[in-house]
Structure 1
Amino acid sequence: MTDYGHELLFGAFITPAARPPTHAVELAVAAERAGLDLVTFQDHPYQPAFLDTWTLLSYVAARTRRVRLSGNVINLPLRHPAVLARAAASLDLLSGGRFELGIGAGGFWDAIAAMGGPRRSPGQAVEALGEAIEIIRELWATEKRGGVHFDGEHYRLEGAKRGPAPAHGVGIWVGAYKPRMLRLTGRVADGWLPSLPYLPGGPAALAEMNRRIDEGAASAGRDPSAVRRLLNIPEHSLSVGRPRRWAGELAELSLEYGVSGFILMTDDVASLELFAAEVAPATRELVAAGRAR
């Protein structure tokens, strides 16, 4: 049993479909109106059926006032980390501190290469992500003097100026599944953001994957609880139509596997409203009771 003690978050994973162009925006507004904490969008810049996720995030930030926003997850190979650092800080400042940086190492390498991006092996993808996170954090560190110099295997900076600093401590949440990426998450990330359908063996796999993250954290002298555990959950995998039973399933994921962020994968307004109005408060109640015991 693992509970890392984080406050629970409930969010939406919305498809950034380009047609109709404002549909994803209206779903995000509906999610905020319903009371959800977080709105996220997948990022596939090579997919012409999707809006550009960064443009969409910026537009949604201007249309909302309270809800937090994140990519789920941002495609690193097609977004240079130095530019990404400035974009993330800018959006956080403009939104009043509502942005979190979900980021991934990439995976659809043929499509990435077709757009002019690098084709990386699994090991190279892990190395590049580690370099990118270091670069992003250095560019945000405006309290340090001098420019940022970085000479890595995949990225190079020659005195890049620091800043702007984000409005708040932007969390870097990594989409990870394999052992090396999980250990990297434990060493350097603020959160882990996988999707339930991709877990090998379903929810039971969370125990072993958490162990690898915790090992990575320990190797870097970090408390494993420094890494928030989030989970994208497809609507069909839960007890749809039975909010209390649904809440029980989520509470078990929280108390047994340490998940504290539940992101519903749906483009249905009614499902988002049910999730926010009934499932989220019932889950919070059950988790609070479990922690009290």
Structure 2
Amino acid sequence: MRTTEREGNWGTAGGLPVADRPVAVPVTAPPSRVGAGNHRNLVAIHDHLREELRQIGQAAADVASGELDAGAARNLINRMTMRQNRWTLGSFCAAYCRVVTIHHTIEDTHMFPAVAASAPELGPVLHRLEAEHEVIADVLDRFDRSLVLLVQENAAGAEWASGNSVAGQPNEGTREVQRLAQELADLLLSHLRYEEDELKDGLATLTGPI
């Protein structure tokens, strides 16, 4: 079992302690010519997700500082190009719950079954990744809901219309947006790195691209 994290901070999120993460065992199937590039492609997509996660964090900070209103922040996040990569793990854009659900469905019916068929030794890792999908989806849902509430209150002309309270300090709504942005970053960064570490050999055994 893996007890440390190379990136992010999963901790015990969702009742799934990081210490309980299964570690990949050696796979018996040899790498294929096509599959050899799968891990590299996955890391490249994850790097794109990491960059967009950084932008989400910046947008949340801008809302809290009054430099960006909640509606603009939500529109920015929903426009992010990662919605074009809905099959990737941890996708988190465009009407969060709906898109993540679609993404997870595609993931669960495409890449994971392919890896399970080619490298059944990785079954425990795949099950863990699927469970982490659900935890991340919950954070995405709460994050989007918090932005929606800020948009609604802004439209109603609340005191924090600019993203700040009257005293110039972030109010509870903006603090919640920042908190959830950090929670999302902690979980997603850990999740992506875990996937990269444990599926590397399994992805190489696939006879087609991911």
TM-score normalized with structure 2 length: 0.26
* Structure whose residues are more often strand by fraction: 1
* Structure whose residues are more often helix by fraction: 2
TM-score normalized with structure 1 length: 0.21
Greater relative contact order structure (CA < 8 Å, 6+ sep) = 2
